[in-house]
Amino acid sequence: MTIAPVLSKPREMKKTAQILRGAMEEFLARGYAAASMDRVAAAAGVSKATVYSHFADKEALFTTLVETMARERFQSVRAMLDETMEPRLAIRQLLTIAMEDCCNNEEFHNFKRVLVGESGRFPELAKTFVEHLSKPGVEAIAEYFRSNPAFNFPDPEAMARIMIGSVVNFAMLQKMMHGDAIMPMEQARIIDTLEYLLFDCAPKSP
Amino acid sequence: MTIAPVLSKPREMKKTAQILRGAMEEFLARGYAAASMDRVAAAAGVSKATVYSHFADKEALFTTLVETMARERFQSVRAMLDETMEPRLAIRQLLTIAMEDCCNNEEFHNFKRVLVGESGRFPELAKTFVEHLSKPGVEAIAEYFRSNPAFNFPDPEAMARIMIGSVVNFAMLQKMMHGDAIMPMEQARIIDTLEYLLFDCAPKSP
DNA sequence: GTCTATATCGTGATAGAC
DNA sequence: GTCTATCACGATATAGAC
């Protein structure tokens, strides 16, 4: 019987959270297929039967884990852009934070590795990620471009995707795919060049 | 004993290629861990013992497969940019081809899924991919920017990465991660906006 | 070199005591 | 609700006939 994380006693919440923490260790380290329910139980400090009393099967545990992690990540996309700040500074701050966030978080790297690796067999999980992270991020920036008179781009959403895509792909190439060892480049050069494109090239009304 | 694909008789070459073809089917469909050597053998039309007489173990087969596929892909990065063409058209053609290449090739999607998914446990394979595909691609475009007087970017390599990164990330988001179902966008809008940034915003010398 | 048959082990999942 | 003990199965890898 599947037991959704219904909270009756705080005790039970703790167990479910414990299991999810163990599952995170195991799934992020080995990927879905190579992860072992024995090791999940060991990492969580419970028996395997307990794991199966909280989650129907391996797939359900994995699904819940990814959705939980996506929800937590989602919290941190709030209020990225400071409307009161000067646009050039606001954009620079946004890009710097996004770059830092994408580049220097090994746990997040492993999360994306699993998500991308399983996106063919677990399309709904990939969609959850896109829905809760990529989409709000792009829309926030696009809306900022649209509402701020300092910008006058023909296609604000495409522009937002180019900005985010540059940063995300840089992080994937350099950090996740180990490009740093083969084609090193400082993060600041991407940010500086994006700023150059947005502000120093932008068509000043002649 | 490991048997490298030494070609003595054409017969043996055929078998090795057959096995690699079967391995491709299985590994790309299920990922490394979930792939079964039984199914590899079945897909290749040989017995499992034959597979093990050509490749030391599962890991060696996987490694050889990825290196082979990367080498084949590598061939197609030749001569992307037409030096004789007008820059605006050359860039547009490049972006269109790259976008098509990244978006409409399910086999390539699965290849990248496996590579990204295993990039933590097989870092050398990820590096091979970067070395043979990402690096030459970025360098070709950067060199084009540097050598062509129509462009005068402060950081041509960062600019090249932004262009490629935008396209690659768009493909990953829309196709691999199924973003098309959640935040649809035509490929042309990315290309048009990149063209706008490169040509219509570029600092005219006043 | 290639096959059939098998050894050995770890896996996901469960039964039953408490 | 949680544990220990166990089942049934499929995995990688190999032995040995031909």
**Distance (Å) from CA A121 to C1' C9?**
27
Q: What angle do CA A197, B167, B92 make, to 5 degrees?
A: 75
Nearest residue, CB atoms, B182 vs list A109, A127, A168: A127
| Mean pLDDT, residues B28-40 | 98
DSSP assignment letter at B174 = I
Task: Share the mean pLDDT of chain A.
Answer: 91
Q: Is the pLDDT of residue A6 over 90?
A: no
Q: Is the pLDDT of residue A133 over 50?
A: yes
Place of tokens 């966030």: A101
For residue B81, what pLDDT is reported?
A: 85
Nearest of A52, A50, A51, A48 to residue A38 by alpha carbon:
A48
Distance CA B23, CA B68 (A): 12
Q: Is the pLDDT of residue A203 over 90?
A: no
- A113 neighbors A176 (Cβ within 8 angstroms): yes
Q: CB of A133 under 7 A from strand D?
A: no
Nearest CA in chain A to B31: A117
Contacts of B176 in chain A (CB under 8 A): 116, 119-120, 126
Binned at pLDDT 50, 70 and 90, residue B80 comes out as confident
For residue A8, what pLDDT is reported?
A: 42
Q: What is the pLDDT of residues A75-114, one digit of tens each?
A: 766 667 888 999 999 999 999 999 999 999 999 999 999 9
Distance CA A90, CA B83 (A): 39
Overall size of chain A counted in residues: 206
Q: What is the pLDDT of residues A176-199, one digit of tens each?
A: 999 999 999 999 999 999 999 999
pTM as predicted: 0.93
Backbone angles phi, psi at A199, to 5 degrees: -115, -40
Residues 81 through 110 of chain A touching chain B, CB cutoff 8 Å: 109-110
| Mean pLDDT, residues B75-91 | 83
Q: CB of B48 under 7 A from strand C?
A: yes
For residue A24, what pLDDT is reported?
A: 98
